[in-house]
Amino acid sequence: MGARRRSVEDLVGTVGRPRREDIWTDRNVFITGCTGLVGGWLTDALIESGANVVGLIRDWVPRSRLVSQGQSARITAVRGSVEDRGLIERAINEYEIQTVFHLAAQTIVGTANRDPVSTFDTNILGTWNVLEACRRVSTVKQIIVASSDKAYGYHEALPYKESYPLRGIHPYDVSKSCADLISMSYAHTYGLPAVVTRCGNFYGGGDLNFNRIVPGTIRSVLRGERPIIRSDGTMTRDYVYVEDAVDAYLCLAERLVEEPDLRGMAFNFSYEQPLSVLEMADAILSMMNRTDLAPRVLGEAANEIPHQHLDAGLARRVLGWEPRFALHEGLQRTVRWYQDFFASTSATAAVVSGQSDIDE
């Protein structure tokens, strides 16, 4: 008879536990989505911790943090997409990857509504391609899959807990529910060392989708314009500063090295301080001393869940994770990043299309 798998109670860690940077020295790490907001910051952190980073890059984005700050020259770039399973398996096998961070996704609600099939291809097919490649390559010891609070769909009872069923209805939410469930299936059926993160809306320097509330509001203020809110402004979400998100991903991966019995688990990461879209816009306007620029509220958002926020108690108890930055600190660092960005480039060319001001 095999050894008993330990319970959650057996795995409880210490809140505020120190990072285990020694784990990353010379570790071969594969990141999908490395040109995105979280992926760029995660790449920075892993390089600084001594990891050998291999990044999957579909589109070359010159103004992304990965490229503009020179980190692309410090990683091994694999050009292609998560829809190409053969490419994924080749890269993981040839570079003897030990840890995989699967962050690549189509994250825009409006894009998913207009073209659900491309979103399903990237978010669902892409996820099982990564997992199947990992299943077939024995060097892989940890897999962190980025899901989302949207995977839960709509629940009246708040905050959402990891025990809540995943029941997305609209295309983007369904794509995250499916990817999340597929990850759990591979972990429980094949013993794949996969765990899932579920977070709210990320913000921080380097997000070039200016239809999102944080970068869009900052850009409007810097131009002396009123920010635009595409929803009615009342929807509430968790907002997670990008460096805290990176800490969460690394903390989970480090614990998975130490505790393989974490496989097949999902963790919410949240400040547990939900804000409405209008409250977030007002916080930015206040910080930038431009409360005279009242937001223009369009009320055009469709297929959005009115209120979502997460219970992060499991991450605190089991992983010892807690955020390092309060909202005002995260916003200050973000505002400074965009001030520098717009001062140093003709950044209007960096706009990336999108429709929702409240997706990740």
| Catalytic positions | 172
Cβ pair 87, 137 in contact under 8 A: no
Tokens describing residue 80 = 């292609």
Q: In this structure, how many other beta carbons lie within 10 angstroms of the beta carbon of residue 59?
A: 9
Residues 131 and 188: their CA atoms lie apart, in Å, by 12
Residues 360 and 63: their CA atoms lie apart, in Å, by 19
Percent helix, strand, coil in the chain (nearest 5)? 45, 15, 40
Residues 33 and 307: their CA atoms lie apart, in Å, by 27
The H-or-E segment that residue 118 falls in is helix 116-120
Q: In this structure, how many other beta carbons lie within 10 angstroms of the beta carbon of residue 62?
A: 10
Q: In this structure, how many other beta carbons lie within 10 angstroms of the beta carbon of residue 305?
A: 20
Closest CA to 218 of 228, 326, 352: 228
Ramachandran region of residue 73, left (φ > 0), alpha (ψ -120 to 50) or beta?
Answer: alpha
For 307, the 3-state DSSP assignment is strand
Residues paired with 195 in a beta bridge:
144
CA distances from 246 to 37, 79, 243, 328 (A): 10, 23, 5, 18
Closest CA to 303 of 352, 354, 356: 356
